[in-house]
Structure 1
Amino acid sequence: MTRDEQGLDRERDAILAALRPVVDSLAATFGPLCEAVLHDYRSPEKSVVAVAGSVTGREVGGAMSEIGMRVLARGERATDEWNYLTRTGTGRLVKSSTTVLRDSTGAVFGALCVNLDVTAVSQAQTLLAALAGTDAPAEAPVTPFGNDIDAVVDAIVDTQRLRHGRGWPELDRAERLALFRGLDARGVFAVRRSVEQVATRLGISRASAYHYLAQARETETAPEPTPKGEHP
């Protein structure tokens, strides 16, 4: 590591240290339905360096979620995402905001995330809509997340595979490329060793997984729409 790289690492550490009290203050301000999470993306497998509150079950030392993978995949093109809705695997509706952290060179190295459990608000809104005879709110997408990054990747692969409705052997070449394109769009391949993990999950060889990923990135077909509203 060069002296400049060491200096940037110290700068990033200082930014994260300054934000740790903010994590506690956010959760204290919004109460038990709020969770604040501070991520250091230099270590994707254990990116959570501070957390207050418990909405998604995150713990210090836990892995990044799908949105973190997408931030890494986008690199300098990553942007803040505020006030989006998603649903946890247990059915809780969550409103979230993600603020990307950059160092003085503009490089993304982490994120400050806030998750607010709005399940009760949504239930009341649905009831009022039914009484008023209007449409109920649109269903929010389910976001795979967890403290183990392997579990997050597996969940994303399974979700993407279910979108095609058939097993890998039944997919034609275009569908296989679309599956890999979708995984790439969701940031899965920004995680180290994820290609090997995807290959294992799909029951194919590592060489085949690398081949399909390369072909998916080369194709001129537009990527599949990325589900909106994943929370950190």
Structure 2
Amino acid sequence: MLNVDFYRPIVEFLALYMGSNTEVILCDTENILLIENSMDEERFEGAPIGEMQQALIQNPECRNIPYNINYRTLSKTGEKVRSATLFIRDANGTLEGLLTVNQCVGEFVRLRKMMDMLISGEQDHNVLRKSKHSSSPKQSYEALTLSVTEIIDRVLEEATIRFGAPPNRLTANEKISTIREMDSRGVFLAKGSVNEVADKLGSSKATIYRYLHQLETKQ
């Protein structure tokens, strides 16, 4: 049985530190024991645990792990939520409860869309990208909803079609060409993008940095 008094200051601390857009829940395997910054009027102390907690408890993959971090859920109002759950077990490894942190990230998602627009522009009217069969510039429209990951995936799809090979089978020159296109769309202004591109191209992070340096020195 969980010691609620022991966990109370932890729950309060996390809620205060993370802010009012973060919900912190302590529950046993049946009911909510403590909750701060509730996102749903149906979630309160003494209420049954929600569907997500039930799913985590019943999931065989969660039986031998200490926590599940950065999974996605939705609030009752449809806002995107980033979640993490700590599995609390007794000395014998029996699950006693869950400590869950739900952070509403809807505002950050909207901010990311604005940043993508500022980086890549809403519409491309680059006169250097003219169609060979037209005197007017080609217009390419980048959806404002695209994340950096989606832009990376789109460029890789285009490269697969253009070079006739999957990303991890491209030659060095083909990868450099692909990196150049990603760089032109602002991909590498985002934190963590080099690691993501390296994984999807089957290259090391050092190789991606080398390609970027080569492109920079040729400008």
TM score, norm. by length of structure 1: 0.47
Q: Give the TM-score taking structure 2 as reference length.
A: 0.50
Which structure's residues are more often helix, by fraction?
1
Larger radius of gyration: 2
